[in-house]
């Protein structure tokens, strides 16, 4: 065999290797993903539906580096990061009993205590509000085996609505304080994570390289102050922003629409609803999640093609 023949045989291999390098390069260009679940009350059902859609897209899941949550959103975040394989079972229990979100989570976690887990899953960040100054505090839990009792305590704190809380506190110009209220962690009192902001931050050292997926069962709009980083918002359809949005903007720059959808969500969020209604919210979350993830995939594909 001549040297020319050898060279011709090697070319396909070299070309194949080049294609593989290009694919790897394109994969590396895709931003890392973070997910933030807002507080939701019993509308954690919506979060569970979105979580189902996320887990159905394994290519996205492999790129998620951290998942954060406040209040009942912290429970959803913990399920996605700690026991994603039990999501369907958890959802069935919650929808059937119309509540006991924390109790069901704790029971499943204790069942999984001595079982092997995925070692390279996303990190969990639970957001609670420091009672003394109203500032958000992120509690990190690294996969796959966090301190369970500490995790339970932090989630309980993140779900602890202060007795003196009023819904208008969310729109106050300055952080609200709740002295003497909450659950003590490391010598400091903490209350509901949703009090200090709608979406908990998902901490990364290079946030400019990340894409945030923000999830809430409330129809909201991102203002200019929240568009510093790339974001995909998963929430119920809200239509065009109304003139009243600016009057209902939280300290962290989230405009909450005074819409019929948001008013209707108040009853199921409080727990005064049926299993069928909660299941509707679950399905809505799954549909909204699938739709927005499809948009995100199309956007990334177009970016790589251009």
Report the mean per-residue pLDDT for the chain. 83
Q: Which of 53, 68, 131, 192 is catalytic?
A: 192
Residue 2 has pLDDT above 60, yes or no: no
pLDDT of residue 296: 86
Question: Is the confidence at residue 234, as pLDDT, over 90?
Answer: yes
- Which residues are within 8 A (CB) of 227 and not within 5 positions of it... i.e. 6 or more apart? none
| DSSP-derived pairing of the beta strands 254-256 and 220-222 | antiparallel
Ranking 195-199, 224-228, 257-261 by mean pLDDT, the lowest is 224-228
This prediction has a pTM of: 0.84
**Is 192 a catalytic site residue?**
yes
Please tell me which residue, 163 or 173, carries the higher pLDDT value.
163
Rounded CA separation 81/266 (Å):
28
pLDDT in the model for residue 227: 58
Confidence of residue 31 (pLDDT cuts 50, 70, 90): confident
For the stretch 192-225, pLDDT in tens is 999 998 999 776 555 556 789 999 999 888 876 6
Give residue 29's pLDDT.
61
Q: How confident is the model at residue 8 (pLDDT cuts 50, 70, 90)?
A: very low
What is the pLDDT confidence band of residue 245, given thresholds at 50, 70 and 90?
Answer: low
pLDDT (mean) for 34-43: 95
Length of the chain: 306
* Residue range 261-271: mean pLDDT, rounded: 78
The pair of structure tokens assigned to 183 is: 């659950």
The pLDDT, as a whole number, for residue 253 is: 79
Give the confidence band of 299 by pLDDT, cuts at 50, 70, 90: confident
Task: State yes or no: is 2 an active-site residue.
Answer: no
Q: In this predicted model, what pLDDT tens digit does every residue of 97-147 receive, in sequence order? A: 999 999 999 999 999 887 766 567 899 999 999 999 999 999 999 866 678
CA atoms within 13 A on the CB side of 230: 14
Residue whose C-alpha is closest to residue 242's, from 227, 263, 228, 225? 263
Cα separation, 150 vs 124, in Å, equals: 13
- Active site residue: 36, 66, 68, 71, which one? 71
Question: Percent of the chain scored above 90 by pLDDT?
Answer: 52
Report pLDDT for 190. 98
């Amino acid at each position: 065999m001549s040297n020319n023949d050898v060279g011709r045989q090697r070319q396909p291999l070299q070309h194949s290797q080049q294609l593989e390098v290009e694919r790897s390069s394109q994969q590396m260009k895709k931003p890392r993903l973070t997910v933030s679940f807002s507080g939701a009350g019993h509308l954690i059902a919506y979060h569970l539906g979105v979580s189902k859609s996320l887990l159905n897209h394994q290519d996205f899941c492999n790129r998620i580096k951290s998942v954060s949550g406040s209040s009942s959103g912290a429970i959803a975040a913990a399920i996605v990061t700690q026991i994603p394989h039990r999501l369907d079972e958890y959802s069935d229990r919650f929808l059937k009993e119309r509540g006991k979100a924390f109790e069901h989570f704790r029971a499943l976690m204790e069942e999984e205590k001595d079982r092997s887990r995925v070692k390279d899953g996303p990190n969990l960040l639970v957001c609670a509000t420091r009672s003394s100054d109203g500032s958000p505090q992120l509690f990190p839990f690294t996969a796959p085996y966090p301190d369970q009792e500490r995790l339970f305590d932090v989630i309980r704190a993140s779900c602890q609505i202060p007795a003196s809380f009023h819904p208008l506190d969310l729109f106050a110009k300055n952080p609200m304080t709740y002295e003497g209220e909450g659950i003590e962690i490391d010598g400091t009192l903490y209350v509901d994570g949703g009090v200090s902001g709608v979406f908990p931050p998902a901490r990364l050292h290079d946030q400019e390289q990340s894409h945030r997926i923000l999830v809430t069962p409330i129809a909201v709009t991102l203002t200019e102050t929240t568009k510093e980083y790339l974001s995909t918002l998963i929430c119920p359809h809200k239509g065009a922003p109304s003139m009243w949005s600016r009057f209902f903007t939280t300290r962290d720059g989230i405009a909450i629409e005074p819409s019929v959808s948001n008013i209707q969500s108040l009853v199921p969020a409080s727990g005064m609803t049926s299993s069928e209604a909660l299941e509707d919210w679950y399905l809505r979350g799954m549909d909204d999640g699938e739709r927005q993830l499809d948009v995100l995939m199309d956007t990334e594909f177009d970016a790589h093609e251009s």
